Structure 1
């Protein structure tokens, strides 16, 4: 998926990348909770991202990529800290206390932050009625999708600790949006694979001091980690980090940030659908309505792009 920003990307590659981010990341909330049954949060982040980063570095070296280029390493390190250490790290940590549905709801505020923080595109985004309506409708759809779980979750919240955790999720969503935009405008012509490599290594190294300061190694034993946790972390490394994150970084280079941010609305949809098919969970009429609203919002957000493509096609054919 290494292409330059100035070139028009293959439609097939774009579709595959969106499908990867939508579907794979929609399953990661579940696998993070599975992994946390055997790995403390900071050790989980350290092991996941350093392992993924080293595997990707080996792949880059085999392919002959320019991995050790200082000009590209610096922005990748900044992005990695904002996206993976702060943004993803907050999700890992708070899922010890908050239900995954609650976390998914708050993470879905990311598209709104994308619009507010994307200063170079303020004029385009804020004057685009379909985009603004789509963002608001999408967030409302996510809330509706999890409305039944939200009510039960609020009744069981540990007021001070969980409210603090919810505040951290919002800050994490802002950091994720900010890091994504920083990556989009500072990645240059470097490949998405090399960018992802350094971003994951930066995050993995940043997680390590936290595991020491929090005393996670005191009672940690590799031999006591259950098989389900090993399977979950392998899935997170291969699919969540190497495949999914690389696709996301590449999409940021070749697509509008607001369009890429729709993953935050679609991921909860995928999570619910996977639960119905693979975990024997039921789905209510209210949830189905939420799914329909979310998918409609994604169409609204992309409406302007669809119109541009249609006009371009007609002009070519004329």
Structure 2
């Protein structure tokens, strides 16, 4: 398989995996509170990654650990809790669409933090994408007045975290293997995750005897195995063989998968919201246009 074919293969697989993550988070929240869900994801994923990839840490240099820690908190720790809290109020399909803002913010983070320039068309793409996101939130709040769409801001914040992480990996961790990055990330956030387990009451009697405890734990475990462990390694590899903006273009297909699962679970997604979603994706398309030679 050529390099170009591998890039698109990774992109497709990641879109299916991560597009399914939002419905798994929704099902996980049936038996656990957001803090509990986030803590469980960290501990389960870290345990699995250490089990299969502990040897990869031998290749990590001492100077890489500060970037691995920053990447771990920005790319995994904070987004896990932000998405969990957001989905207590907004639908999983809407969350999947808003996640498409990642490439737009990748552009801005690359500019301000790493000095990566962009074109006028890419800037227009950012504006178009943000307009689409605003419309999606407005339409969603009118269709579901019982939901608090201010929580959509948590998803936006999570996308900024993902965008920052893509630039950190591309700029500072090119010499670390994809497995080493994934394992190193979770080694750095494991202790806070363990601390949050008892603090959040994750293993309390009330939670363990709840109606949805075992089913929700199953969904969270599936999310950790596929959506975190496998996907993390694939994503880190994709970043290393492509560009940060191309790698986060996985968000082109994530909304399609996310909306499909949401509708299957009884969520309402209107033509207005589909139009707003297309605006976001149009913005992402413009952002991904190659720069013309000056």
Same fold (TM over 0.5): yes
Task: Give 2:49's match in structure 1, choosing from 56, 74, 81.
Answer: 56
Displacement after TM superposition at 1:14 (Å):
0.8
Give secondary structure in 1 for the equivalent of 2:290: helix
Residues 47 and 251 from structure 1, CA distance in 2 versus in 1: closer, same or farther, beyond 3 angstroms? Answer: same
Relative to 1, partners in 2 of residues 1:146 and 1:265: Cα closer, same or farther, differing over 3 Å? farther
Matched ranges for 1:43-122 at <5 A? 43-61=36-54, 65-67=56-58, 69-71=60-62, 72-101=64-93, 103-104=95-96, 106-119=98-111, 122=115
Q: Of the candidates 227, 238, 249, which is equivalent to residue 251 of structure 1?
A: 238
State the partner residue of 1:39.
32
How many positions carry a matched residue from both structures?
289
List per-residue Cα deviations over 1:44-92 (Å, max 9, x = no partner): 223323322232233225xx53447352443212211112111222111
1:218 deviation in Å?
3.8
CA positional deviation for 1:303? 2.8
1:155-195 deviation digits (Å, cap 9, x = unpaired): 3256xxx74x4554443333332233222211131111111
Task: State the partner residue of 1:240.
Answer: 227
The equivalences for 1:258-269 within 5 A come to 258-264=245-251, 266-269=253-256
Q: Give the CA deviation at 1:149.
A: 2.6
User: Structure 2 CA distance, aligned partners of 1:33 and 1:282?
Assistant: 15
Query: After alignment, is 102-111 or 254-263 more displaced?
Result: 102-111
Q: After superposition, give the CA deviation of every residue in 1:223-257 in whole Å (9 maximum; x if it has no partner).
A: 54444313311220121101222222222223222
Change in Cα spacing, 1:121 to 1:291, as seen in structure 2 (3 Å) is same
- Counterparts of 2:207 and 2:146, CA distance in 1: 31
Match of 2:146 among 142, 156, 161: 156
For the 8 Å contact 2:32–2:213, the answer to whether it is kept is no
Which segments of 5 or more consecutive residues in structure 1 lack a partner in the other structure? 1-8, 309-318
**What are the within-5 Å matches in structure 2 for residues 121-200 of structure 1?**
122=115, 124-125=117-118, 128-142=119-133, 148-153=139-144, 155-157=145-147, 163=150, 165-200=151-186
Tell me if structure 2 keeps the 8 A contact 1:141–1:290. yes
Secondary structure (helix, strand or coil) at the match of 1:21 reads helix
Does 1:207 find its partner at 2:193?
yes
Q: Say whether residues 1:20 and 2:13 are aligned partners.
A: yes
Q: Over residues 87-109 of structure 1, what are the superposed CA-to-partner deviations in whole Å (9 max), with x where a residue is unaligned?
A: 22211133223443554465444
Q: Which residue of 2 aligns with 1:6?
A: none
Give 1 or 2 for the bigger CA radius of gyration: 1
TM-score w.r.t. length of structure 1: 0.75
The Cα offsets for residues 121-141 of structure 1, whole Å up to 9 and x where unpaired, read as 65531xx23322333334444
